């Protein structure tokens, strides 16, 4: 169909991985037409020479030449889907350098992926949807300053958040555990309005994101209903004052996690989900309850403990808690148990989620768990990077929504 | 000037650099720090966890650990380098990193750094060796001390 978004597939190995048919099928369902930038074989050597990296694999050199072809004429495509086989050492290097090259030389959105023979449809679909959003809502996402009076509502799996912004300042917030999706949204909106000293009619535009976005969006007639990847990216980069250049956003939520890599506050790769609740805020909540402390105290407690003094036999939330209970029974201190729980979450996120993306500095930690100081410290120790926790980290999605939707303010 | 040589453990290249009054940046010095560090639990060792973490700023986590370790070890050397000499496709006896992927990436990093860089092919005959030594000598002379 003519109105499909054209996305250039720049890849190596997809045909021989047996995934090309799946790529085409999912792209088609997402309203995307995959195209392959044209390259003459005799131009490959020149392209590689100019790029500066001669790969041993001719398929990767062809990738470089295709990237150069897009740089020379970006009008051939609306965005780029860049992929190589998972765990290909040379492929991973070329993919990363080609991504930087494309982002430096063009304004096209780039999303990356590593293929395995059994590709997960969900992972592909969300990337194509994000590419589609990045193309069709580009002007919205380029907004770096909030204007007028706007509201962002983030309906998360564990908590619902609301932020009201006025002329680039946060003037009201609301936060409640998610129960009924609409009632929870109404509650946080009331809380934020009360704090801001405003009435609903003062709000000029509303954005909704998170799991319940469609239900709430219909109920309150939101101006913008947006998936959380792009909104959280914008919110995190805005709060951390890192809207230009590269960054990684770690969003450890109550039930699922996101790790997103950004270029100029626009996401270009991400990993979502998590294998087990043991890698989420819920595990830390259970730990806090078992230790008899409030979740807000767990982080400070962890900073005083020594995480390595407790052997965690499993990352599973159930067996993980058993390890911690056993440690308490054997006389370990609360501080050590809190530190071990934080380290366990950080290790699992690192080993099972961050394997799929290339980390870029600075790392911005958002989500409710960013307020747990011990988790930040555990990530810093494991990753070897300083981590930024911006103000209002738990409201990143709502802030991103309020920021973007200010484009609707007349 | 501080001249990075590649392969970074080539004694011949290091000697040529030192003879022309420059400081050779070599891998042996970096590894020696670890061997002599009394705080490391079980020296001698070539690589520490910190080296692997350092490379994460340049490489994806999906990169094999051996590539990441080698690149991580080389990053401080690259940061120090004011000029570089790369000998391409050398015989392992000349100097060796033992990993083609790491070699290619480190050479790419050197070229991308924008410092004066001489790239010469490894000489397999005596005449070619003389030409290489002459090229290296001319390059080193052209660098200010």
- The answer to whether A53 contacts B108, with C-beta atoms less than 8 Å apart, is yes
Average pLDDT score over residue span A57-76 = 94
CATH number for the domain harbouring residue B122: 3.40.50
Residue of B48, B50, B61 to mutate when probing chain A, most A C-beta within 10 A = B61
Across the range A126-135, mean pLDDT stands at: 84
- Residue A246 contacts residue A262 (beta carbons within 8 Å): yes
> What domain count does chain B have?
1
CA distance linking residue A402 with residue A409, whole number of Å: 11
Q: Is A41 on the interface with B (CB under 8 A)?
A: no
- Residue A203 reports pLDDT greater than 90: yes
Fold observed for domain A5-136 = Rossmann fold (3.40.50)
Which of B57, B59, B111 lies closest to A93 in CB terms?
Answer: B59
Question: What is the pLDDT averaged over residues A299-316?
Answer: 78
Using a CB-CB cut-off of 8 Å, the residues of chain B touching A383 are 53, 56
Q: Which residues of chain B does A89 touch, with a Cβ-Cβ cutoff of 8 Å?
A: 63-64, 67, 101
Mean pLDDT of all residues in chain B?
Answer: 89
Q: What is the pLDDT of residues B56-79, one digit of tens each?
A: 778 877 788 888 888 999 999 999
B64 close to A (CB below 8 A): yes
In A, minimum Cα distance to B61 occurs at: A355
Looking at A67-71, A396-400, B38-42, B111-115, which range is the least confident one? B38-42
Question: What superfamily does domain A242-389 belong to in CATH?
Answer: ATPase, nucleotide binding domain (3.30.420.40)
Is the CB of B6 inside 8 Å of chain A's CB atoms?
no
Task: Indicate yes or no: CB of A52 within 8 angstroms of CB of B56.
Answer: no
The two structure tokens encoding residue B120:
């010469």
CB distance B60–A92 less than 8 Å? yes
In chain A, domain spans: 5-136, 149-229+396-408, 242-389
CB-based contact A397:A152 (threshold 8 Å): yes
C-beta neighbour count of A146 within 10 angstroms: 24
Q: Tell me whether the CATH fold assigned to A149-229+396-408 matches the one assigned to A242-389.
A: yes
Over chain A, what is the mean pLDDT? 88
d(CA B88, CA B104): 10
The arrangement of strands across the sheet holding B83-88 comes to: B23-25, B2-6, B83-88, B117-121
Who among A89, A359, A361 is closest to B67 (CB)? A89
What distance separates the 2 farthest-apart alpha carbons in chain B?
A: 48
**Which residues on chain B are in Cβ contact (under 8 Å) with A259?**
none
CB contact under 8 A, A93 and B63: yes
- The CA-CA-CA angle for residues A24, A25, A29, to 5°, reads 115
- Any idea which of A262-266, A310-314, B46-50 has the lowest mean pLDDT? A310-314
Q: How far is B133 from chain A (nearest CA, A)?
A: 25
Please report which confidence band the pLDDT of residue B45 belongs to, taking 50, 70 and 90 as the band edges.
low
Check CB contact of A410 with chain B, cutoff 8 Å: no
A319 HSE (CA, 13 A, CB side): 7
CB contact under 8 A, A52 and B111: yes
Considering only residues B42 and A343, tell me which one the structure prediction assigns the higher pLDDT: A343
B78 to chain A nearest CA, in Å?
17
Name chain A contacts of B50, Cβ cutoff 8 Å: 384
For A89, the closest of B50, B57, B64 (CB atoms) is: B64
**Residue A276 distance to chain B (closest CA, Å):** 21
SS (H, E, C) A279-321: HCHHHHHHHHHHHCCCHHHHHHHHHCCCHHHCCCCCCCHHHHH
A94 to chain B: nearest residue by CA? B105
Are B104 and A90 a contacting pair at CB < 8 A?
yes
Chain A contact present for B70, CB below 8 A: no
Please report which confidence band the pLDDT of residue A219 belongs to, taking 50, 70 and 90 as the band edges.
very high
Q: What is the pLDDT averaged over residues B117-139? A: 96
Which residues are paired to A179 by β-bridges? Answer: none
Q: Which domain holds residue B116?
A: 2-142
Q: How many CB pairs under 8 A join A and B?
A: 57
Cβ-Cβ contacts under 8 Å for A50 (sequence gap 6 or more):
A68
- Does residue A275 surpass a pLDDT of 50? no
| pLDDT score at B115 | 96
pLDDT tier, A282 (very low <50, low <70, confident <90, very high otherwise) = confident
Can you give chain A as a three-state secondary structure string? CCCCEEEEEEECCHHHHCCHHHHHHHHHHCCEEEECCCCCHHHHHHHHHHHCCCCCCHHHHHHHHHHHHHHHCHHHCCEEEEEEECCCHHHHHHHHHHHHHHHHHCCCCEEEEEECCCCCHHHHHHHHHHHHHHHHCHHHHCCCCCCCEEEEEEECCCEEEEEEEECCEEEEEEEEECCCHHHHHHHHHHHHHHHHCCCHHHCCEEEEEECCHHHHHHHHCCCEECCHHHHHHHHHHHHCCCCCCEEEEEEECCCCEEEEEEECCEEEEEEEECCCHHHCHHHHHHHHHHHCCCHHHHHHHHHCCCHHHCCCCCCCHHHHHHHHHHHHHCCCCHHHHHHHHHHHHHHHHHHHCHHHCCCCCCEEEECHHHHCHHHHHHHHHHHCCCEECCCCHHHHHHHHHHHHHHHHCC
Band (B52; pLDDT cuts 50, 70, 90): confident
Chain A residues touching residue B100 (CB < 8 angstroms) = 56
> Which CATH fold topology does A149-229+396-408 show?
Nucleotidyltransferase; domain 5 (3.30.420)
pLDDT band at A356 (very low <50, low <70, confident <90, very high): low
Average pLDDT over residues A337-344: 88
List CB contacts (< 8 A) between A359 and chain B.
Answer: 56-57, 60-61
Distance from CA of A201 to the nearest CA of B (A): 48
Residues of A in contact with B63 (CB under 8 A): 89, 92-93
d(CA A123, CA A257): 14
| ipTM confidence | 0.71
Q: How high is the pLDDT of residue A1?
A: 47
Please, what sign has the CA dihedral across residues A340, A375, A261, A134?
positive
pLDDT at B16: 95
CA nearest neighbour of A362 among B57, B38, B14: B57
Closest-CA residue of A relative to B50 is A384
The nearest alpha carbon in chain B to A363 belongs to B57
- A342, exposed or middle or buried, with CB in 10 Å at 0-12, 13-18, 19+? buried
């Amino acid at each position: 169909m003519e109105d499909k978004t054209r996305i250039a597939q720049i890849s190596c190995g997809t045909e021989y991985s047996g995934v090309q048919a799946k790529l085409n099928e999912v792209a088609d369902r997402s309203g995307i037409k995959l195209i392959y930038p044209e390259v003459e074989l005799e131009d490959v050597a020149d392209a590689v020479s100019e790029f500066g990296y001669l790969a041993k694999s001719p398929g990767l050199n062809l990738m470089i030449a295709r990237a150069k072809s897009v740089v020379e004429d970006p009008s051939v495509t609306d965005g780029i889907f860049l992929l190589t086989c998972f765990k290909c050492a040379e492929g991973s290097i070329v993919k990363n350098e080609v991504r930087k090259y494309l982002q430096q030389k063009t304004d096209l959105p780039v999303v990356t992926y590593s293929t395995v023979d059994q590709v997960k449809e969900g992972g592909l679909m969300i990337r194509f949807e994000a590419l589609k959003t990045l193309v069709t809502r580009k002007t919205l996402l380029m907004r770096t300053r909030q204007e007028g009076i706007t509201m962002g509502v983030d309906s998360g799996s564990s908590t619902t958040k609301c932020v009201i912004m006025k002329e680039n300042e946060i003037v009201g917030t609301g936060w409640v555990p998610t129960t009924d999706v609409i009632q929870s949204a109404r509650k946080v909106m009331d809380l934020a309005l009360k704090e801001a000293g405003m009435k609903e009619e003062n709000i000029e535009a509303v954005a909704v994101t998170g799991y319940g976005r469609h239900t709430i969006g219909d109920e309150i007639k939101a101006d913008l209903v947006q998936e959380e990847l792009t909104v959280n990216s914008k919110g995190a980069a805005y709060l951390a004052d890192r809207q230009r250049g590269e960054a990684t956003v770690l969003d450890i939520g109550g039930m699922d996690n996101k790790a997103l890599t950004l270029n100029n506050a626009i996401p270009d790769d991400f990993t979502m989900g998590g294998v087990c609740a043991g890698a989420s805020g819920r595990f830390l909540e259970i730990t806090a309850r078992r230790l008899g402390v409030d979740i807000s105290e767990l982080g400070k407690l962890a900073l005083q403990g020594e995480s390595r003094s407790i052997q965690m036999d499993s990352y599973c939330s159930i067996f993980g808690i058993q390890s911690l209970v056993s440690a308490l029974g054997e006389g370990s201190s609360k501080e050590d148990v809190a530190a071990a729980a934080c380290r366990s979450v950080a290790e699992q996120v690192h080993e099972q989620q961050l394997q799929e993306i290339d980390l870029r500095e600075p790392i911005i930690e958002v989500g409710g768990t960013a307020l747990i100081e011990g988790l930040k410290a555990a990530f810093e120790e494991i990753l070897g990077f300083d981590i930024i926790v911006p103000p209002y980290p738990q409201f990143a999605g709502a802030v991103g929504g309020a920021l973007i939707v200010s484009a609707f303010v007349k | 000037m501080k001249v990075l040589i590649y392969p970074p453990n080539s004694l011949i290249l290091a000697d040529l650099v030192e003879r022309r009054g420059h400081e050779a940046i070599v891998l042996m010095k970096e590894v020696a720090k670890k061997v002599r560090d009394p705080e490391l639990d079980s020296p001698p060792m070539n690589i520490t966890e910190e080296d692997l973490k350092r490379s994460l700023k340049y490489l994806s986590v999906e990169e094999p650990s051996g590539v990441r370790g080698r690149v991580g070890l080389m990053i401080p050397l690259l940061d120090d380098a004011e000029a570089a000499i790369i000998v391409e496709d050398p015989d392992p006896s000349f100097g060796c990193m033992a990993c083609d992927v790491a070699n290619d990436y480190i050479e790419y990093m050197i070229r991308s750094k924008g410092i004066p860089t001489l790239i010469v092919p490894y000489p397999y005959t005596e005449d070619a060796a003389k030409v290489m030594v002459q090229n290296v000598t001319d390059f080193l002379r052209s660098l200010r001390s």
